Amino acid sequence: MAEPTPELMEKVVNLCKRRGFVFPTAEIYGGFRSTYDYGPLGALMLRNVKDAWWRSMVQMRDDIVGLDSAILMPPRVWEASGHLQNFTDPLVDCRNCKERFREDQLDDPNTCPNCGAKDSFTEARQFNLMFKTHVGPVEDAGAVAYLRPETAQGIFVNFANVLQTTRKKPPFGIAQIGKSFRNEITPGNFVFRTREFEQMEMEYFVPPGDGPKWFEYWCAERLRWYTDLGIPEDQLRLRPHEADELSHYSTGTADVEFLYPWGWGELEGIAQRSDYDLTQHAEFSGEKLEYFDQATGERYVPHVVEPAAGATRTMMAFLLAAYTEDEVGGEARTLLALDPRLAPYQVAVLPLSKKDTLTPVAKEVLHLLQPHFVCEYDETQSIGRRYRRQDEIGTPYAVTVDFDTLDDKAVTIRERDTLEQVRVPIDDLVAELRSRLVL
């Protein structure tokens, strides 16, 4: 795997555009700053990242359920959550070049990074990051709404509904994957910081006093998830927040950070949100948001531990960690050593040639595999070039249909990382690939 250098970033961004992982939004119109479209391969991989998260957080557990809440909610929600008052960044302008910056992200608070002017910044002012919009045909104060800056509040306002319909009791969690929107002052670093992004969040409701124990549990559990899917341990770390970094709702937060080419950056935050959110929403809505333990007669507002990850920046981290350059037969090779659970395609079906004698058999093999794996069919260019193409997009296995297949009813499986090739009867192909692919 390649070292996390600036050159690595350039190579991965180039690969993403060239192979169809990520495109600049509306590129034919010059793009739209800080938004990106996910191409055929990117859409598949991003879905796999989200599916892997959902599998680990919901499918494989009996204490977490799922939710899909609306993007638009009443403004009162954001008053209660504190976002209208507290969800701000300190903003300064350079009087010389008129560029705008986040004060807390300046390397030198006295020097403009754009024009180099000294002591040219205005006084810092607070800038709310939420996107404001209007609901309905009339743009008046009563029609104001906001695009959600996080998916968490949709979980909190549905706490009572989920509690009643699932009959769960603390400790239990509610998980959600969805779009969020933040009017970032300084977006950048490709898809790392954008104004439209996807989050994978889970709110874990626990009895008061149990928050610290579950916070430690989720810190370890979430770190393990990334290493299990292929990110090397030396490219990950857990960094506790300093007191002045904590969000308005947090009594303690730690970030899972990844060593990006520009340095350490957040993949996921694990926060102890205490009972802040449920208490606030109960006060503002007038509804009780608490748990009654029938066994003990105790009634309490649960505390919350929140693991919150960015799906898009997580996909980017997996791409960076998987990017590899080596040499095969004296020729340079680029490959994405992605875990099969994340790779856009698990199997590529490659007829040795485009001759009519092979195409029908190759298509039969493709149709045999498609119900079980996400597959690509490729018959363009030489077989060597097609192998290299599949290596570069991370496909773990290629199945080659050759002229011997017509006689022996067998195909060749080629493994991406080791280049090992093995002959397998078509009748055994699904079982053989299943044994190799842990999905």
> Where are the chain's structural domains?
6-75+131-319, 88-128, 345-436
pLDDT at 248: 66
Angstrom distance (rounded) from CA 306 to CA 43: 26
Q: Tens of pLDDT along 124-141? A: 877 778 888 888 877 776
pLDDT of residue 292: 94
Answer whether residue 56 shows pLDDT above 90.
Answer: yes
The mean of the pLDDT values for the chain is 92
**For 188-199, what is the mean pLDDT?**
85
Note whether 64 and 172 are within 8 A (CB): yes
Answer whether 6-75+131-319 and 345-436 agree in fold.
Answer: no
Region 327-355 average pLDDT: 93
C-alpha dist (Å) from residue 150 to 33, 59, 377: 21, 23, 39
Paired tokens of 175:
């998980």
- Whose tokens are 């205005």? That residue is 122
The pLDDT score that the predictor gives to residue 124 is: 83
| SS3 state at 313 | helix
d(CA 62, CA 36): 36
CA–CA dist 428, 413 (Å, integer): 12
Superfamily of domain 345-436 in CATH is Anticodon-binding domain (3.40.50.800)
pLDDT for the residue numbered 5: 81
Instruction: Measure the CA–CA gap between 23 and 14, rounded to whole angstroms.
Output: 10
The stretch 43-50 carries a mean pLDDT of 98
At 430, the amino acid letter reads V
State pLDDT tens for residues 245-303: 766 667 789 999 999 998 999 999 999 999 999 999 999 999 999 999 988 999 999 99
pLDDT in tens, 406-426: 999 999 999 999 999 999 999
Give the integer Cα–Cα distance in Å for 387 and 122: 56
Band (329; pLDDT cuts 50, 70, 90): confident
Give the pLDDT of residue 1: 63
- Determine the CATH number of domain 6-75+131-319: 3.30.930.10
Q: Please return the burial class of 418, using the count of CB atoms within 10 Å of its CB with bins 0-12, 13-18 and 19+.
A: exposed
Question: Which of the four pLDDT bands, split at 50, 70 and 90, describes residue 2?
Answer: low
> In 323-404, which ranges are continuous DSSP H helix?
359-369, 383-393
Distance from C-alpha of 240 to C-alpha of 242, rounded to nearest angstrom: 7
pLDDT of residue 325: 93
Q: What is the arithmetic mean of pLDDT over 41-47?
A: 97
